[in-house]
Amino acid sequence: MKIGDIVKMNTELFRDAAGEIDDRLLFLESWIGIVTAVLEPIDDEPMVMVQWSHLAKPNPRLVSHLKNANPKWDRSCR
Q: Give residue 75's pLDDT.
A: 56
Average pLDDT over residues 48-59: 94
59, β-bridge pairs? 50
**Phi, psi (5° rounding) for residue 61?**
-140, 145
Q: 54-69 pLDDT, tens per residue?
A: 999 999 999 999 999 8
